[in-house]
Every structure is written in structure tokens, then in C-alpha cells.
């Protein structure tokens, strides 16, 4: 079963998320990117914080702080 899935993936073409060029998925060491250049450009964008995962902005309650303090005391 896995060999069949892998053989299908080997011939599959995908679009590079950086430049949009179609590239073969299987056997591509830079997948899902088409090249090392596109992979490094994407990595640089993450490092420069151009991309971000959505996060909920919230403040810690007094209860949260107490729970954290208790947990830390237990580890000492």
C-alpha cells in the first residue's frame, strides 16, 4: 500500500509555494519548493517575521499565575 502511494507521489507535480513553478514532488529534496533558493527565501520570510501563526492575545489571570507558580515549585 505505501509503495503504491509513494509511486503516485513520485510522479506528482506540485506548484512551488514561493514562485509557482511546477515541480515534481517525489525525489525532490527541496519539496514542496522547486529549489534551494525558493526554500531559503521562504525560510528568510519566517525568520524576518513576515509570516505569523494566528494567536489569541490574552493576559494571564491571577489564577493562571498561581498555577504556574505552583507548578514551578513542584519541579524544584
Please state the φ and ψ torsions of residue 7, each to the nearest 5 degrees.
Answer: -65, -35
| pTM value > 0.85 | no
Coil, strand or helix at 14: strand
Tens of pLDDT along 20-31?
A: 999 999 899 999
What's the pLDDT score for residue 56?
78
Residue 51's pLDDT is 87
3-class SS of residue 23: strand
Peptide bond into 32 cis (omega under 30): yes
Domain boundaries, the chain: 2-75
**What pLDDT, in 10s, does the model give residues 25-54?**
989 999 999 999 999 999 999 999 898 888
Residue 76 has pLDDT above 70, yes or no: no
**Average of pLDDT values for 8-16?**
80
CATH 2.130.10.10 fits 2-75, yes or no: no
27: left (phi over 0), alpha (psi -120 to 50) or beta: left
Amino acid at each position: 500500500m505505501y509503495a503504491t502511494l509513494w509511486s503516485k507521489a513520485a510522479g506528482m507535480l506540485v506548484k512551488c509555494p514561493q514562485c509557482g513553478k511546477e515541480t515534481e514532488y517525489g525525489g525532490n529534496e527541496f519539496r514542496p519548493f522547486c529549489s534551494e533558493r525558493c526554500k531559503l527565501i521562504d525560510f528568510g520570510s519566517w525568520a524576518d517575521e513576515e509570516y505569523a501563526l494566528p494567536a489569541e492575545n490574552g493576559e494571564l489571570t491571577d489564577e493562571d499565575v498561581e498555577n504556574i507558580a505552583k507548578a514551578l515549585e513542584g519541579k524544584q
